[in-house]
């Protein structure tokens, strides 16, 4: 039996993960593939419904509270050739079972997310998701301090590195986060 495959697009903030996801979905639609994008409801930085890149690219998405909603939407509105999941770091381990079910249905699953939290540690399910992926794309950004290649996300509080013991999930944008290289990253 043939199976689908899992692609994982990951990196720090401002690396272009959502932009790459939108590009892949647009190409799939040109190829007459039926695709759907899911995003976590808590990510409402730029739009309540659409996936929006930091540069302003947009794609229609379905905001969900729980990864469990993916299968019911797939059953009611599918089948889909491609199921995309933006900001996968905000979902929990139940996502693995859902992805496995979709892969058995020969669906291509594309997931994006931050591979590290602001502490430089693996973010949520992302390390395991990357390990399970058939194809990975590791994107980097430009360090907002020195201009070199950035792989870290620096959370700021009053323009200083946020304390290491701050809560992990705080959805934000340029007012709270910067892309940094290893040399410019500071532990709060």
Q: 143 Cβ partners below 8 Å, 6+ apart? A: 149, 150, 179, 180, 181, 184
Catalytic residue selected from 60, 87, 148, 149:
87
C-alpha–C-alpha distance, residues 135 and 71, integer Å:
22
- Verify whether residue 20 is a known catalytic residue: no
C-alpha–C-alpha distance, residues 115 and 138, integer Å:
9
Would the CA dihedral through 38, 40, 13, 94 be positive or negative?
negative
Give the residue numbers annotated as catalytic, written as ranges: 87
């Amino acid at each position: 039996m043939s199976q689908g495959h899992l692609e994982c697009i990951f990196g720090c903030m401002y690396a272009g993960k959502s932009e790459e996801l939108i590009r892949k979905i647009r190409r799939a639609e040109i190829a007459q593939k039926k695709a759907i994008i899911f995003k976590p409801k808590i990510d409402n930085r730029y739009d309540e419904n659409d996936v929006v890149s930091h540069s302003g690219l947009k794609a229609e998405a379905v905001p969900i509270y729980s990864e469990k909603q993916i299968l019911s939407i797939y059953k009611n509105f599918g089948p889909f050739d491609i199921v995309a999941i933006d900001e996968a770091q905000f979902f929990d381990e139940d996502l693995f079972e859902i992805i496995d079910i979709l892969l058995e249905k020969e669906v291509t699953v594309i997931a994006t997310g931050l591979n590290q939290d602001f502490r430089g540690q693996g973010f949520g399910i992302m390390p395991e998701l990357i390990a399970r992926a058939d194809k990975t794309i590791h994107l980097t950004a430009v360090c907002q301090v020195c201009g070199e290649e950035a792989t870290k996300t620096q959370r700021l509080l009053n323009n200083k590195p946020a304390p290491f013991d701050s809560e992990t999930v705080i959805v934000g944008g340029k007012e709270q986060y910067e892309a940094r290289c290893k040399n410019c990253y500071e532990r709060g």
